[in-house]
Every structure is written in C-alpha cells, then in structure tokens.
Amino acid sequence: MDSNAHEALRLLVAAYEEHLAAVLARRGDEDVAVDDAYDSLADAFDRYEAVLDVEYGETLPMLLDDVELEEPDEDEDGDDEDEEIDAHAEEDEDVLDDDLDDFQLR
C-alpha cells in the first residue's frame, strides 16, 4: 500500500478506537466528547476513501449518512411537509403479537 493510503488507514483505525473510548466513557445522552469523536471518525473515513479513490480508483462498501439534524418544515395546516410513514408502521399490532408468539419472544 502507498504510504498515503497506509497513513489514512492508520488514522481511520485510530479514529474508530477514539470513538469507542468516548462511547464507553459517555457522561450522558448529549456528551460532547462522543459527538467530537463521531465527527473525527467521519472525517477520517472520508480521507481514507478519498485516498483510495485518487490513488487506486477504489471505493469502500459503506456510505456515511449525511443527514443534517434540522427541524422539519411545517406547511400551513401545521403538518410536516415531508412526512413519510414507515412501511412497518402500518402493520397490524395483532399480526406483530402473533409473530412474538411464533418466535417465542415473550
């Protein structure tokens, strides 16, 4: 492996380890250290993938989720504009209860 790709991989592995350490030491749901480690991991992933692409024309079999955490826009009647219902949300609860019985999950 080229030294740039090898260095980017080393930094990615280190970012994974730092993220895990931050998660294990989490001090609440909104721990800034976990958020910072998450951002560092995403940056290291992007760098590694970019090096692979530039130097070898390769990509990784994973995609980062680039979802921005914003409040959804509401239209005039107060409903969410882009509201989508999960297909599983429409399932009948009785059917789900039967699944629990079938797989002995109770």
Tokens representing 70 are 């914003």
Residue 83 near residue 92, CB atoms below 8 Å: no
Report pTM. 0.58
Radius of gyration of the CA atoms of the chain, in A: 21
Averaged pLDDT for residues 86-103: 53
Section 29-36 average pLDDT: 92
% of the chain surpassing 90 pLDDT: 47
pLDDT band at 80 (very low <50, low <70, confident <90, very high): low
**pLDDT exceeds cutoff 80 at 106:** no
Q: Which residues is 80 bridged to in the sheet?
A: 74
- Which is higher by pLDDT, 35 or 86? 35
Q: pLDDT (tens digit, 9 = 90+) per residue, 58-69?
A: 988 887 776 554
Domain ranges of the chain: 3-56
